[in-house]
Amino acid sequence: MYKKSIAELSQGLASGEFSSAELTRTYLDRIETHSAGLNALISVTADEAMAAAQLADQTRQAGNAGLLTGVPLIHKDIFCTEGVKTSCGSKMLDNFIAPYDATVVASCKAAGMPMLGKANMDEFAMGSSNETSFYGPVKNPWNIETVPGGSSGGSAAVVAARLAPIATGTDTGGSIRQPAALCGITGLKPTYGRVSRYGMIAFASSLDQAGPMTRSAEDAAWLLNIMAGFDARDSTSVERDVPDYTATLNDDLQGLKIGLPKEYFGEGLDADVGRVVDAAIKQYQQMGAELVDISLPNSHLSVPTYYVVAPAECSSNLSRFDGVRFGYRCKDPQDLEDLYKRSRGEGFGAEVKRRIMMGTYALSAGYYDAYYLKAQQLRQLISDDFKQAFEKVDVIMGPTAPDVAFKLGAKASDPVSMYLSDIYTIATNLAGLPGMSIPAGFVAGDKGDMPVGLQIIGNYFDESRLLNVAHQYQQETDWHTRIPQGFE
């Protein structure tokens, strides 16, 4: 059962081939067997999952089942889940039991989808390797000596290892797409505002966006149908009709114009990764698409712009974690100042502290105009580049990451090198555009082949086209069906 797509699982449940209880137990057994070696889960909610599966079976027997009723999933531990620990991968929230469900969680629950557990992640979603988690690093199923990418590395790892058919993730600067590429799965970051952020613990409010992490584009379309939509409780949510993302999956690609930014294929891109991406793009050409050379001249400003905007917003958002109302509190504080200092000093990890300090500095008196305001101006230039490009092309393609998964600890002492892991993904967040990564092939490594991701970027609210473009490629290739050795 664990090798089936979501559509196949839905059909199997509808036909009575298996029950949701049987399906959910299959995945829980795989979690019990494989999860410890990957460190991909913070919480396993076996009892809750089985209860939800039995309820889903009753719903189906009563004739009230939806398409995803009874299909289990895993949520990234950044989404509030009522009665279940929501830690954000941090010591600060190690004792926090959420009193309500995030909108994404509530939507999946309303669809009858049992939650298997909560996925490990970089602390407060700050990282590109899933090594900053208070609970230890997640390991890549393709080679457990390498990183799975971050911050949604746990979600990527469980889908790649088939410990769950689907998982949710969040993307602030590439945190769905980059781990999807490094783990050989499909990951979609929707347009900013397409999916509710209510109950998703904030890192950088103008950048964060939730999305599906799945085996295939078809699976992503099924889950996005559940996740997308307006939410009055989220001030950044866009009031716009949600199409059926599965309706146009099979449209042909004749005449599709694919933009190839020259900035994405130059210095810094690993030669082997470049060859895999080139081969994938040529496959599109054979399917009837037209290749168009374009330029995104301000893309080189993406990383420095992001690392002013995101830390500034994280400095503001994380000020609520002060040891007073919830979360970690230091022992025996001498006074209120001591409580604040030691609770935050002991509760946050090194990378989170680094970004808080960077952001606080950028927002401080005398530096706001020089840094934060200037970064927002550059952000507009980056967005304008995309607008001009989409006047000529339908989608933009390039590598998701400059290299395949690197060794655990290889970049831990070099934050700048780590930040450059997201060099091809950050601009999409700054512009608020939708983007996705799909498996495009493999590069030979020391201990087996490692996956490479192809990034596809679309115009605002054009997720249907992205999913169609990705699905058509996956109809012609089988990269997305590959399972890491030891997890078959």
Q: How many residues does the chain have?
A: 488
Residue 106 lies in a domain: yes
Cα 5 to Cα 218: distance, rounded to the nearest angstrom: 8
Catalytic residue, from 43, 90, 175, 216: name it: 175
What's the pLDDT band for 366 if we cut at 50, 70, 90? confident
Cα 306 to Cα 359: distance, rounded to the nearest angstrom: 11
> Per-residue pLDDT for 345 more than 80?
yes
Do the Cβ atoms of 3 and 483 come closer than 8 Å? yes
Please spell the DSSP secondary structure of 196-234, one letter per residue: --TTB--SSTTT-EEEEEESSHHHHHHHHHHHBS--TT-
Residue 413 lies in a domain: no
> Per-residue pLDDT for 447 more than 70?
no
Do the Cβ atoms of 451 and 187 come closer than 8 Å? no
Query: Quick check: is 107 catalytic?
Result: no
* Range(s) of the domain holding residue 13: 6-257
pLDDT tens per residue, range 368-414: 888 999 999 999 999 999 999 999 999 999 999 999 999 999 988 88
- In this prediction, residues 5-23 reach a mean pLDDT of 96
> Per-residue pLDDT for 481 more than 70?
yes
| Greater model confidence, 181 or 325 | 181
| Greater model confidence, 408 or 366 | 408
> Per-residue pLDDT for 297 more than 70?
yes
Mean per-residue pLDDT over the chain, rounded:
96
Task: State the DSSP code for 305.
Answer: H
- In this prediction, residues 454-472 reach a mean pLDDT of 98
pLDDT tens per residue, range 247-290: 999 999 999 999 999 999 988 899 999 999 999 999 999 999 99
> Per-residue pLDDT for 106 more than 70?
yes
pLDDT at site 421: 85
Residue 315 lies in a domain: no
> How many structural domains does the chain have?
1
pLDDT at site 488: 86
pLDDT at site 110: 97
What's the pLDDT band for 420 if we cut at 50, 70, 90? confident
Catalytic residue, from 151, 152, 155, 299: name it: 151
What tokens were used for 353? 């502290």
- In this prediction, residues 52-72 reach a mean pLDDT of 96
Residue 380 lies in a domain: no
> Per-residue pLDDT for 318 more than 70?
yes
pLDDT at site 24: 98
Exposure letters 221-238 (e unless 16+ CB within 10 A, then b): bbbbbbbbbebeebeebb
Catalytic residue, from 10, 20, 43, 76: name it: 76
Task: State the DSSP code for 372.
Answer: I
pLDDT tens per residue, range 223-235: 999 999 999 999 9
What tokens were used for 486? 């030891």
pLDDT tens per residue, range 127-161: 999 999 999 999 999 999 999 999 999 999 999 99
**Is beta strand 166-171 parallel, antiparallel or unpaired with respect to 209-214?**
antiparallel
Residue 281 lies in a domain: no
pLDDT at site 369: 87
Cα 135 to Cα 92: distance, rounded to the nearest angstrom: 12
Q: Which residue has the tokens 């279940």?
A: 84
> Per-residue pLDDT for 446 more than 80?
no
pTM for this structure? 0.96
- In this prediction, residues 311-333 reach a mean pLDDT of 94
Residue 117 lies in a domain: yes
The CATH number assigned to the domain holding 88 equals 3.90.1300.10
- In this prediction, residues 234-240 reach a mean pLDDT of 96
pLDDT at site 448: 79
Task: State the DSSP code for 328.
Answer: -
